[in-house]
Structures are given as structure tokens and as C-alpha cells.
């Protein structure tokens, strides 16, 4: 009887040892990637696969929205409209795709006239438009309290630079409305001497100058071609450019998301 008990105990110990060896082997194989049939049934790649699937889904959704916006942009009336340069337009125009400005240049009696035309500020009735109008009113000396309120107007921001072969340059920050061009500020720059340019006194604010001096400066830039007769053309041209640049921007986004 004692012999049978010892044999049973010995067999049990041997089976336990084999079981421990099997468990250890299974864990080792799982860690080292061997014997795929010994790996657990739950794959470690499941979370990654799910994440990848979600990324693909979000990318496809974004592409569909971008393509829809591209379709709207291509159907816009001002997308491919070409504005003809009016007769007598004195400037050479440089318009680079992807740039937010158009550059006008000309020579006038030994002076180089450069005008950077920025994207048109369209009146939408938003708060920003109201703030622009308030800033514009500060540049006008006339009192507006007793006058009827004028309808808001879209405008074209301009940066006018007048320079000669040597010496300082004059820069004017302007806002061009359909019927007038308003100088918002002006300063003297020294393009040939950057160190001096950084330390140069910029002068008082344009709106506090004497009225006669302000009118003289308006006449000064008008003679050089900065006058209301050019604004209607620039207004329409910049609206068209905004549509083209928006379409180009959307296509750039689409190419990035697809790549």
C-alpha cells in the first residue's frame, strides 16, 4: 500500500513538473515570437488595427469635405473672371500665384513708385467692419455727428512707397474706397541704411498734421497715380484673386491630406 502511494505521489510530481515546463515554454514562445500556435488567441495588434481604421475613416471624411469646398470654389462667378486693365493705367502689375498681395510699379520723374495692393476688405456687417469704420472716422477732421450716416463701403488696403536713386523713401499706408483714397499713416524710411532705419524718428501721426499738409500729401500721391479712378479695377481684381487663392489653398490641403 505504501508503495502505491509513493508511486502515485511520484507520478503527480512528474506531471506537475511537465505542466510547469509547458507553461514556461508557452510564455517564452509568446515573448520571443516563436511557435505561433502557442501564442494566446488575443492578438496584440488589435488596438493598432482599430486606430489605423479610425485614421483612414477620418482622412476620407476630411477629403470629402475638402473636395466639396473645391467644387463650390470652382463654381464661383469670380473664380476665372479676368479683369481687363483700364486704358491709361500707369502701373506695371506683378501678381504671383500664392501671394496675398499684388505689386504695382512705375517710374515718375526720377522716382520709383511702388504700390502693394492687399486683399480687399469686404463689408459683411461684422463687428470688425464697424471697428474699421471707427478707425477711419478718426482720420477725418470733419464732424460727423450732425451728418446722416453713410453706408459702409468695401475698401482696398494699399502700401505706397516713393523712393529715389539714393537717400530716404516715403511710405504711405492708405485705405482706398470707391470714391476716395485716405492716407492713414506715413513715415520716412532709409532702405540704404538699415541701422539708421531702425532708429529713425517716424514723425507724428498723420491725422494730427495740419489739414493743409494732409491735403498736400494726398495731392502728392495722386499725381503719381494713386487716385480713385484706379480703385474700381483694383477692387474687382483683388476679389477675383481672393477666389483663385482660396481654390489654390484648398487644392494644397487636399494634396497634403492625400499624401
CB-based contacts of 154: which residues, under 8 Å, 6+ apart?
120, 121, 122, 123, 178, 235
Asked whether residue 7 carries a pLDDT value surpassing 80, the answer given is no
| Interatomic CA distance for residues 164 and 112, integer angstroms | 6
| Burial status of residue 29 (CB atoms within 10 A of its CB: 0-12, 13-18, 19 or more) | middle
What is the tens place of the pLDDT at every residue in 193-226?
777 766 677 788 999 999 999 999 999 999 999 9
What is the tens place of the pLDDT at every residue in 114-131?
999 999 887 755 554 444
228 and 178 Cβ atoms separated by less than 8 Å: yes
CA proximity to 136, closest of 177, 178, 171, 101: 177
Regarding predicted confidence, which is higher, 163 or 142?
163
Q: Where does 76-154 have alpha helices with state H?
A: 127-138
- In the chain, the domains with their CATH numbers are 57-122+152-258 (3.10.280.10)
114 and 160 Cβ atoms separated by less than 8 Å: yes
> What pLDDT is recorded for position 9?
46
Amino acid at each position: 500500500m505504501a508503495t502505491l502511494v509513493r508511486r502515485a505521489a511520484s507520478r503527480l510530481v512528474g506531471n506537475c513538473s511537465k505542466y510547469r515546463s509547458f507553461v514556461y515554454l508557452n510564455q517564452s514562445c509568446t515573448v520571443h515570437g516563436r511557435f505561433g500556435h502557442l501564442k494566446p488567441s488575443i492578438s496584440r495588434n488589435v488596438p493598432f488595427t482599430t486606430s489605423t481604421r479610425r485614421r483612414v475613416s477620418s482622412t476620407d471624411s476630411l477629403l470629402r469635405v475638402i473636395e466639396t469646398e473645391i467644387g463650390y470654389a470652382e463654381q464661383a462667378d469670380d473664380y476665372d473672371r479676368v479683369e481687363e486693365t483700364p486704358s491709361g493705367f500707369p502701373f506695371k502689375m506683378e501678381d504671383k500665384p500664392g501671394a496675398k498681395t499684388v505689386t504695382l510699379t512705375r517710374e515718375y520723374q526720377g522716382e520709383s513708385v511702388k504700390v502693394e495692393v492687399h486683399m480687399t476688405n469686404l463689408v459683411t456687417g461684422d463687428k470688425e467692419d464697424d471697428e474699421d469704420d471707427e478707425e477711419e472716422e478718426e482720420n477725418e477732421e470733419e464732424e460727423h455727428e450732425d451728418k446722416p450716416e453713410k453706408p459702409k463701403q468695401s475698401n482696398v488696403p494699399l502700401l505706397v512707397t516713393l523712393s529715389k536713386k539714393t537717400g530716404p523713401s516715403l511710405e504711405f499706408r492708405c485705405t482706398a474706397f470707391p470714391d476716395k483714397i485716405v492716407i492713414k499713416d506715413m513715415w520716412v524710411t532709409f532702405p540704404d541704411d538699415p541701422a539708421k532705419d531702425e532708429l529713425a524718428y517716424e514723425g507724428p501721426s498723420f491725422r494730427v498734421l495740419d489739414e493743409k499738409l494732409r491735403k498736400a500729401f494726398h495731392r502728392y500721391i495722386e499725381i503719381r497715380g494713386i487716385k480713385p479712378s484706379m480703385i474700381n479695377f483694383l477692387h474687382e481684381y483683388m476679389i477675383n484673386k481672393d477666389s483663385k487663392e482660396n481654390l489654390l489653398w484648398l487644392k494644397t490641403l487636399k494634396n497634403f491630406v492625400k499624401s
